[in-house]
Homo-oligomer: A and B are copies of this chain.
Amino acid sequence: MKDIVELSITTKEKIDFIDITDKIEGIVSESGVDTGLCIVYLPHATAGLIVGEFEPNIYKDYKLFYSRLPSLVSNEYMHNQIDNNAEAHLLSSLTGPSKTFIVEDGRLLLGTWQRIILCEFDGPRTRRVLVKVMRS
């Protein structure tokens, strides 16, 4: 078992949402850990991680909500004078880079409608996802 597994996820749009649950489940399963934690960590400052339902309609709603929220507050962010992605940094700070899950019987304890979703806020890009499965 490798201590940390790294995934590479390619996003397709400026603001995009990718369901990575099956990949994380696969890593947990291969780890051989029966009982413990799974930490999913995104080493990026213009992306984020959320947990939620994932289907084509809610995908559009996530996109609408997160696209508009920063510009509702202001249209004059200073970081856009350097790099045109202040809004992506704000959304990344809001959604956060990591989530911790409980592992039991060799599986993630997720609710029926919960999917682990990578949020791209400044794509398209290739993003790294670090996954650590830890025995308790």
Which residues of A come within 8 Å of B, CB atoms? 3-4, 35-37, 39, 41-46, 50-53, 55, 57-58, 60-62, 64-65, 68-70, 72-74, 76-79, 81-82, 86, 89-90, 92-102, 104, 109-114, 117, 128, 130, 132, 134-136
Shortest beta-carbon contacts, A-B, top 4: A43-B111, A57-B78, A45-B113, A50-B93
Q: Considering only CB atoms, which chain B residue lies closest to A35 in the complex?
A: B3
Does B78 lie within 8 Å of A44, measured CB to CB? no
**Nearest CB on B from A99, distance (A):** 7
**Nearest CB on B from A101, distance (A):** 7
Question: A62-B90, A93-B52 in contact; A45/B111 too (CB < 8 A)?
Answer: yes
12 new A-B pairs (CB below 8 Å) besides A45-B113, A68-B73, A135-B136? A3-B136, A36-B134, A37-B134, A41-B100, A44-B111, A51-B97, A53-B89, A58-B78, A64-B74, A64-B76, A64-B77, A65-B77
Does B92 lie within 8 Å of A52, measured CB to CB? yes
Q: Which residue in B37, B44, B65, B79 is a CB contact (below 8 Å) of A58?
A: B79
